[in-house]
Amino acid sequence: MLTNLNPRNAIFLAGLLATLTLGLAACDNKGPVEQAGEEVDEAVHTLKNGGKETTADKVDDAVDDAREGAKDAAKELKKD
């Protein structure tokens, strides 16, 4: 699948993966107060958007889920 990429798309994909990797690695652990604050912010955004979650909030949630998944995977690797 990836072998059929043209060079331009391959460079873009490599840059995207590097950016995501660095972004996840650079994030600090969020404390409970910071997490609660983010939840309040998202609730306010949702209310302002007529009850629909904004795209930015969906992206933030996806990043948080990816971060948690990476932490869980790292813990599992350390167990073995």
**pLDDT digits over 16-55, tens only?**
777 777 666 655 667 788 888 888 888 888 888 888 888 8
pLDDT at 8: 81
Asked whether the predicted pLDDT for residue 1 surpasses 60, the reply is no
CA distances from 54 to 9, 65, 75, 77 (A): 29, 17, 32, 35
pLDDT of 56 > 70? The answer is yes
Q: Is 73 helix (H, G, I), strand (E, B) or coil?
A: helix
Give the 3-state secondary structure of 6-40.
CHHHHHHHHHHHHHHHHHHHHCCCCCHHHHHHHHH
Sorting pLDDT into bands at 50, 70 and 90, what band is 11?
confident
What total number of domains does the chain contain? Answer: 1
Domain that holds residue 24: 2-79
Q: If pLDDT is split at 50, 70 and 90, which confidence band does 76 have?
A: confident
Question: Please, are residues 59 and 65 in contact by the beta-carbon 8 Å criterion?
Answer: no
**Inter-residue contact 24 to 67 (CB < 8 Å):** yes
